[in-house]
Structures are given as structure tokens and as C-alpha cells.
Structure 1
Amino acid sequence: MVFTSNPLSLSVPDTSFDAWLRDSGYLEILDQHSSSSATAAPATTSTITSTTTTATATGLFISFFSHIPTLLSLFTLNPFSKLTTDDFSGQTPSWTRSFFADCGSYSFPSGSDQARLRVNENVKRYARNYASLFILFFACTLYQMPLALIGLISSLALWDVFKFCSDRWGWDRYPVLRQVMVRTAQCVTAVVLICLNVQMAFFCAVGISYTVMVLHAAFRKLTPAKQSARSR
């Protein structure tokens, strides 16, 4: 389905038309409408300021710095505000056709509103892809930090030993003893994780994956959602 910027512009204001697109689930049309509205005004000014090379360079300089507030606003958004557990239960979108796609599927957000729209929707659509990227980054970080990898494996082995001993000697019949052993295992696990810098590996993976997720979600254009999803 193809829309003009506002086919009902004589009777419906742009704000009402945008609200109808948002409520109807045509977010990709709203994304295109925001991009076209933002590029309409600079198009006329560029023809005026393109008379001299100095004016063109100044325009590019100003245009670059005008995007800085939008970039900074990306890290003030909450990309998980509309995320639910159902977003992780479906199939993983295709990495080539849906997630990465081609160069034409990316554009700089025209403003903080469009960036917020893209981030909230793309995080829901590609939640499983972003989760896979976090696991990949965490594995790469552990590969670069062998001590952290040893600490993580040691912690998992410690709890496997605890479960084996609990099943072997029936610690469930002694709640006080079992509680003491659980607290002891937790303390030992915390010491191992801290001493071997497992928390640093985790924080590095979280920071890298979060940055990649926010930038990809903000620059990735909204594509038409599946018809079956809209019909529900």
C-alpha cells in the first residue's frame, strides 16, 4: 500500500493523519512521512546557499552539528519500554534480508521523534537478533579475557557440584543446612566472579551490544510489518 504525504490534507490535519497511521500500525509510512517532511525545507535552502563554495561548506558544517543533539538523544531513550516476552518467542528475523538488509534501508533520523519511533519499533522487531548479538559479544569478550572465562566456568561448575551434593545427601530435608550451603555457595561465586573480572567482561558486552542496538534501531528504516501481525 502506497500513501502520499497526506491524501486527506484538505479535511484532515497532518497531526490527525499521523495519529491514524500510528494507531493503524502503518509505522513505516509514518517514518517515511517524517523523513520527507524534514528534507523538504532544507531542499529549498540548499538551492539558495549553493551559489558559492564557502556557503556550501558552511551549510554542511551546520548540518553536521545539527545532528549531534539527535545522536545524543538516542542514549536518553528507553529501548525496552515496549518490549515484552512475546517478542522473544517468535522466529528470528532473517539476518540478511530483514536485519542488515541493504544500504538503502538506512537513513539518519530527522529528529528525536523519528529516532524514538524507530528505536521502539525496531527493538521489538529484532529483539531476538539483538539478544544473539549480545551473546556473541559476550563470547568474544570472554575469549579476549581468559581469566573471566575460567571464572565463569568455575562458577557454573560450583553450582553443579552443589546440586549434585544436594541430591546425593538430601539437603532438602534440612532447610537450615541447605540455606547455609546456598549462602556459602553464593559468597564463593561472588568472590570468584569479582577476582577473575567476569563482571568487567559482562559490562563490556552490555555496553557494546547496547550501543550497536540503539544505533542500528535508530538508523534502520521501518519496513512494512507482516500482514498477519496487522490483522490481529
Structure 2
Amino acid sequence: MKFSSNPLALSIPDAAFESWLRDSGYLEILDHHSSSTTTTTTTTTAAASSNTPTTASITGGFFVSLFSRILTLLSLFTLNPLSKLTTDDFSGQTPCWTRAFFGDCGSYSFPSGNDQARLRVHENVKRYARNYASLFILFCACTLYQMPLALIGLISSLALWDIFKFCSDRWGLDLYPAIRQVLVRTAQCATVVILVCLNVQMALFYALGVSYAVMILHASFRKLTPAEQPSRRR
């Protein structure tokens, strides 16, 4: 005898039960429930159409499934994964890279639909915010290593502002706000020229694009796990 995925189905509707799971933090149960529901629906549809199997129906079902997955992947790039981030997400400890962030092969699955993909992205981005930030720094360093002129431009722009700060403190430019404002505008223009001429913006764009794609794909394919693992008793 199989029980319903909602153990309180006789007294609480599924919508209210899912809302309670969200508010209580049991998102991994909601994620598993979405996958199970989609699997059950797919199995039922396949069993209903298996009475008269034809080459056209099999081919049509394959293309429908492929088109659905493509739409799910495209919908990932319409999300705003950073909308629910707060400063507290970066203040905690970095989750373990091997056990928590990467996991094993069973920790990944294709999202069953847009709702599940959206749920995974928003929750995983909050959980692994520090990991994704570290990956962005790594990709940025690799990109600058491959583009030495961009690295020189970035270092030059930083050195320019350090020199400006040193001269401002030494000459007391705070007493002459008009002169200081002119020098600030001049330094800004010089910084823009350096960044554009040495393709620093392209290096940052490449690093940001790669890290964003990795973040979206990892967050959507990574299954939700309990936020707080039970502590072991001594």
C-alpha cells in the first residue's frame, strides 16, 4: 500500500502543505516531491500511450521531452539568482567544497520544471554564495593570467588611485575642494582610458560570464539537501 506524498492529505490541501514546507525550511522535501510528481506523471502518460506504440509517437514524445528540457534550461537565464541574497549569506563559513558543494553523482538531477529550477537556484545560491564568489575570483585570476595587458591595466588603475590618495593626503587637497574635484575627474578619465585601451572590461566580462553560467547550472542541477545536518552524538 502506497502512501500519498502529503501525509496530511486528508486534512490539509497540497498547496497549504507545500507552503508550510517552504516556511519551515524543509525545501529538500519539496524538491523531492516535485521530482516524484513529475516522474509519476511521466510514467502514467507513458503507460497510457503504450497500448498502441508507433514510431511517430515515440519520436514525438522524444522531441517533446527534449523541447521541454531546452525550455527549462533557457528559463534559467531569465531568473535573477541574486534577488534573495543578503549580506548574512557572505558572513558565515564557506560550505565544504567536496561534501556540500560538489557532492556525489546522486546529488544532481535535471530539474523537472521551471518551478523546481527556480526553487533550486534561489536556495542553492544563498547556501553556496561564498563558494560562487570564490569561483568568480578564480575565473577572474585565470582570465587576467591569459590576458597580461588587462592585468597590467588593472594594476595601473589601482596604482593611479593609490598615488592620488597619497598626494591628496600629502598636499592637503581637502582644504581645496575645487582643485581636488578637478583632479578626481582627471583620475577617473585616465582610469577609463586605461581600462578600455588594455581590455580590462573584456577580461571582467569573460570572468563574470563564465562564473554566472557555472553558478546557474550548478544551482539548478544540484539537489536540495537539509540546510542543517544533524550533529553526531558523542
With structure 1 as the length reference, what TM-score do the two structures score?
0.91
Matched, 1:24 2:24: yes
Equivalent in the alignment of 2:99? 97
- Provide the C-alpha distance between the structure 2 equivalents of 1:208 and 1:49, rounded to a whole number of angstroms: 43
Task: Tell me the residue number matched to 1:14.
Answer: 14
- Superposition deviation, residue 57 in structure 1: 5.3
Mapped contact 1:109–1:218 kept (Cα < 8 A)? yes
Which amino acid letter does the alignment assign opposite residue 35 of structure 2? S
Match for residue 33 of structure 2?
33
TM-fit CA distance, 1:72 = 0.9
Report how far residue 65 of structure 1 moved. Answer: 1.8
| Counterpart check, 1:132 vs 2:134 | yes
1:74 lines up with 2:76 in the alignment: yes
Is it true that 1:183 corresponds to 2:168 in the alignment? no
> Please, which runs of 5 or more residues in structure 2 have no aligned partner?
none
Task: Mark the CA change 1:77 to 1:50 in structure 2 (over 3 Å): closer, same or farther.
Answer: farther
Task: Find the aligned partners of 1:179 and 1:131 in 2 and give their Cα distance.
Answer: 34
Aligned to 2:90: 88
Which of 181, 196, 201 is equivalent to 1:199? Answer: 201
Displacement of 1:129: 0.6
Instruction: Give the secondary-structure state (helix, strand or coil) at the position aligned to 2:6.
Output: coil
In angstroms, what is the RMSD of aligned CA positions? 1.9
Shift of 1:51: 8.0
How far apart are the structure 1 equivalents of 2:102 and 2:54?
36
CA distance in 1, matches of 2:45, 2:16: 28
* Cα pair 1:50 1:56 within 8 Å, conserved: no
Quick one: distance in 2 between partners of 1:101 and 1:132? 17
Q: How many equivalent pairs are there? A: 226
How far did 1:49 drift? 3.4
Post-superposition shift, 1:40? 0.3
Cα distance in 2 for residues equivalent to 1:141 and 1:152: 12
Gaps of 5+ in 1: none
Distance 1:50 1:126 in 2: 46
